[in-house]
Structure 1
């Protein structure tokens, strides 16, 4: 008996990386899986139907049940069609795992409008679109008296929640938006028996992260790999399963560590009765404890690079921006 026996699950971006590992794990736990992936490049261009088909073949070869869907989550009707694929193939839909994403990394001053829009269309709008079509089906079933556990598992990232990574303005914004969307959706969809949570992988080795310093190194065979994208799969499966009581939560996953994110929370404060003057604020705000984004980035890189000083960190940021800039464009 698997933890997901009898559950029909739609997983977007399931052809590679974290999504692929989730699809394989969910199927091994007894789920019937819709493997969604248009097979695009990292930047969202191109397409290869064989990417999703290969994962389906791998699942069925192991005795599992799966079908492929190659629609884009950024396509409104495509999002509807992938939900319909689950209903037509397996008769119902119990959980959605929103994993699809793309990256187009450049410094903010060089980032084209179309690149920013493209990333948000997949990461944020795509998460909304698939969830929205699934929610409409679940609302209809709930109104018809069918009261069973349903679940949405969104996917965010340390980039956007914890680790401020230069050149990732669009990617970070999309991931932060997904986390915010998770909490709103949890409050709205609970009336239909739907739980909504989010996993936030941090330092997982995928084709999107292999160029990050330290990410390309793999441990000797047989030793636990904390950067293996498979580390996210059991956490997502738990959140998608009927035994999970959680909703509205964002869980960071880094190797064998699972941590609850507290989101944007109030810290230290100053107060006066009436309006502040600029001069008063200048004096009082300096006493407030604040998080320095340089310190956050340095902490995120410590595991891969050791201790990184501020000057060295700025050199790395400058080099990254120069590398990502369009040919012939100066960033400084």
Structure 2
């Protein structure tokens, strides 16, 4: 006759054992989560915890590979990361395992002490930064960065000096050298036109070649296409603008005809743009909202060994930017 007491005992032992296993798994997961909370990646936490369980004797990579769902080739770089972070150290070689390196977890108490010391040092540094630079950072936050003429290449000063004298500011300046099929120097700048209606940021890009690019029609055609693509990137400058188009045109600047692009966006997209939402009221007719609105103009101005690429809100502002260029270049 089957003994129900034995069956109940087996069920009890099975249930109890499963509960113990589940508790251990939960506790292990809590520790892994804790290690991630103090800055380790998931894989780093798994490896460090496995080494903790190995105790002071440590273990080799093969054992970690068997215990963890991490590819062995990935374990080595993670161990090196943990060594640099101060969580793990090397502990000699395992003679019985073909002299494989032994890795040992650093005492977690020491690890936490190091972390606390590091965090205290970071907090001290942050407090010092706040004390010495807070006002400057607040000024930048409220007014933007303003670059002085002594921070830029001297060759650009004649182009900017008249503008800055009349209230413009230089917000951004980047100098770089491009070595492609053409060898040229690039100056990327953002100017701020205080009298602009909506778009106060004006772009000034100068490409300087080692030969007269103005006479190289093929190169000019190549650059025009490239700059047209660059102008299309303006779409990302105006957040949430989905429909953006460029109209090829020419513009008369001081008796010189130059290639330009008129930049237009769909009127119905204006309500999604922080720049143009305030002028949406003038477009009440739903039919007109399917039309395009001119937001600015970009010009390409080749002069001898230079190409000037400028964009601004209006023809008037473009002409203000171009005037010092013609004065400097003698055109």
Instruction: State the TM-score, normalizing by the size of structure 1.
Output: 0.27
Instruction: State the TM-score, normalizing by the size of structure 2.
Output: 0.27
Larger radius of gyration: 2
Please identify which structure carries the higher strand content. Answer: 2
